[in-house]
Amino acid sequence: MNEDIYANSEIPIENTSTHSDDSHDYEDIYVNEDDVPETSVTRSHKVTMTSGTIYISIHPFPKPLLHQGREGMLERYYRLTAVCLGLLCVILLAAITVLWVKFNNLTIDRDQLQTNNDNMKNEMGQLQKEKEFRRRVQKFQKKLSELEQEKKTCSVYYISTEKKSWSESRKFCTDRGADLVIINSREEQEFITKTFGSYQAWIGLTDTEKEGDWKWVDNSRLTTEFWWTGEPNDYEGKENCAVTDLWFVSNKNVQTWADYPCNHPAVGICEKRI
């Protein structure tokens, strides 16, 4: 409060009681302070005594500095709170921005991965198709090779009508554009057995160049053998030519071979490849 509040009480001093000792008087001082707030005023009392009347002046001490201090402190609190809230908003905005950018990047990465996955699936499908195509090509090539092999092994067989030595029987075949038969498979041996099984016949196999080194007339080495048990035995060192013989039929009904002297008379089986 900026104005002085004065409470003037002009109250005479009266005797309020009579005692046995008349020399003692008691004075009551009444102060009217109804207009002064008790919570906001600090009072100083000044007592003046005039003509038997006591005047009391009450001067409240104003507290503008304290009030202003409180307001300044509250204002600083408000400002600090506002600054903190502003910083918090900025941080939240920055965090949201970062998260949004990361989300966009993740979306782009996801789309890229999906694209790469689709491309890989397409490539795998293409590779599978190529693999299947190569498998079919290989199968076709194998079949073609078998056909070529069958074409190469397609032969015409015939047998001489006269019994002659191995050399003479071979000449009989070569004079007709053929040669003594070369047997390279069980199927061919079975065919010879079924067709010429009733004859002892020369085949195009000999070891005349080197004993024990049997070769066909085309100079190829022996790979598929149908020797009878104990053959070839080069009996008396004179058996260097091979025959297929009825008497050496195995238990599997396939005619077997034996070595004989090359001058032994027998028919010859000729083979002409076509």
Asked if 261 contacts 166 with a C-beta cutoff of 8 angstroms, the reply is no
Residues 230 and 168 in one domain: yes
Question: Total structural domains in the chain?
Answer: 3
Among residues 135, 153, 171, the one where a domain terminates is 153
Domain membership of residue 27 (yes or no) is yes
Which letter does DSSP use for residue 23 in this model? T
User: Mean pLDDT per segment of 10 residues, for the chain of length 274 residues?
Assistant: 39 40 40 42 46 54 54 79 88 90 86 86 86 78 65 76 93 94 89 83 94 93 89 89 76 81 94 84
Q: Are strands 239-245 and 256-261 parallel, antiparallel or unpaired?
A: antiparallel
Residue 50, domain extent: 11-62
CA distance 85 to 88: 5
Residues 232 and 188 in one domain: yes
Residues 77 and 143 in one domain: yes
CA distance 133 to 172: 51
**Segment 161-201, tens digit of pLDDT:** 889 999 999 999 999 999 999 998 888 888 888 888 778 89
Residue 194: left if φ>0, alpha if ψ -120 to 50, beta else—which one? Answer: alpha
Which letter does DSSP use for residue 235 in this model? G
pLDDT for 264 equals: 94
Query: Across-strand partners of 258?
Result: 243
Among residues 62, 80, 100, the one where a domain terminates is 62
